[in-house]
A = this chain, B = another copy of it.
Amino acid sequence: MPVNNQVKVLSPQLENRVRLLVKCPDQPGIVAVLSSFLFNYNANIIESSQYSSDPENGTFFIRIEFHCDNFQEKSAKMAKDFEVIAEDYEMQYKFYNLHKKERTAIFVSKELHCLLELLWEWKNGDLDTEIAVVISNHEEARSIVESFGIPYHYIPANKEIRKQVEAEQIHLIEEYNVDLLILARYMQILTPDFVNHFENRIINIHHSFLPAFIGANPYERAHKRGVKLIGATSHYVTNDLDEGPIIDQDVERVDHRDTVTDLKKIGRQIERRVLIKAVKWHLENRIIVQGNKTIVFH
């Protein structure tokens, strides 16, 4: 039975705080219509970022964070009113009320550094989510996960039983009402069905500077090639292996003395900070996927 591991406090601050993400064909007047709409509801814009792929005939993207007194009471009417604008401007959009935390599931195998980073940032109050469940094909992480009061499900996995394993996983994800899946060094390939089921909702960390070293054993191959920097990449998972929309990347300097083992140690530091950034940005609704790229509003 899933249990929320953080006490829920109805914070009026968060109840009235909302993020709006919009994507539509660019044309003059979009900002005017959006900001006037919000002003009519006495909402105060706290933060706003926008981007146009091309001011002439391009696509327009905007992220607005606003405060609106009594939002809970107004939200139904706002949603209805906004429909009209959205239709006029052909907008895809979504309102996110900060009061409702996104629920995450973390998938992990034997390497725990990314999981630990997520757990500690979360414990520290720096990861604004409810970690609903951790799912693993190994038992290594159980004791640490359970010490945080988070349910842990061990589902052995391999190529032969993939379909059955994923059915079980999907069942759990639904039972725990999960919004976002985080692959924190989960070393199993997912089927196209599974991936399609969670479009733009699975974040993976790949242990190389993509598109260099796509696929298995990137540190071994980086060592063999003699690169002077190694990296990691967080991205949304699609059905092209390691080809999904990149969210963040980072690198560290290495040299001829570093063995493959050294690269892995250095790499772990990069992986965990690149994954945590992607997860935070997703939870802050800073990311819009457009084709195979991401727009990240910092």
Which chain A residues have a beta carbon within 8 Å of chain B's beta carbons?
26-32, 35-36, 38-39, 42-52, 55, 67, 113, 116, 120, 124, 126, 147, 209-213, 225-229, 231, 245-251, 255-257, 265, 269, 273, 292-296, 298
User: Is the CB–CB distance between A51 and B120 below 8 Å?
Assistant: no
Q: When the two chains form the complex, which single residue of B29, B30, B43, B246 contacts A226, counting CB atoms closer than 8 Å?
A: B246
- Tell me the minimal C-beta distance from A293 to chain B in angstroms: 3
User: Is the CB–CB distance between A38 and B32 below 8 Å?
Assistant: yes
**Given A35-B35, A55-B44, A126-B265, does the pair A250, B225 have CB atoms closer than 8 Å?**
no
How many monomers of this protein are in the complex?
Answer: 4
- Tell me the minimal C-beta distance from A152 to chain B in angstroms: 16
Q: How far is the CA of A287 from the CA of B292 in the complex (A)?
A: 33
- Residues of chain B within 8 A (CB-CB) of A226 are 245-246, 292-294
Q: How far is the CA of A35 from the CA of B50 in the complex (A)?
A: 13
User: Is the CB–CB distance between A124 and B113 below 8 Å?
Assistant: yes
Chain B residue at minimum C-beta to C-beta distance from A223: B293
- Residues of chain B within 8 A (CB-CB) of A51 are 256-257
Point out which of A31, A147, A229, A255 has the most chain B C-beta atoms below 10 A from its C-beta. Answer: A31
User: Is the CB–CB distance between B43 and A28 below 8 Å?
Assistant: yes
- Tell me the minimal C-beta distance from A52 to chain B in angstroms: 7
- Residues of chain B within 8 A (CB-CB) of A231 are 229
User: Is the CB–CB distance between A249 and B265 below 8 Å?
Assistant: no
User: Is the CB–CB distance between A296 and B28 below 8 Å?
Assistant: no
User: Is the CB–CB distance between A296 and B249 below 8 Å?
Assistant: no
- Residues of chain B within 8 A (CB-CB) of A29 are 35, 39
**Can you list 24 A-B pairs with a CB-CB distance of less than 8 A?**
A28-B39, A28-B43, A28-B44, A29-B35, A29-B39, A31-B31, A32-B32, A32-B36, A32-B39, A35-B35, A44-B55, A46-B52, A47-B50, A51-B257, A116-B120, A209-B209, A211-B212, A226-B245, A226-B292, A226-B294, A229-B251, A255-B298, A256-B294, A256-B295
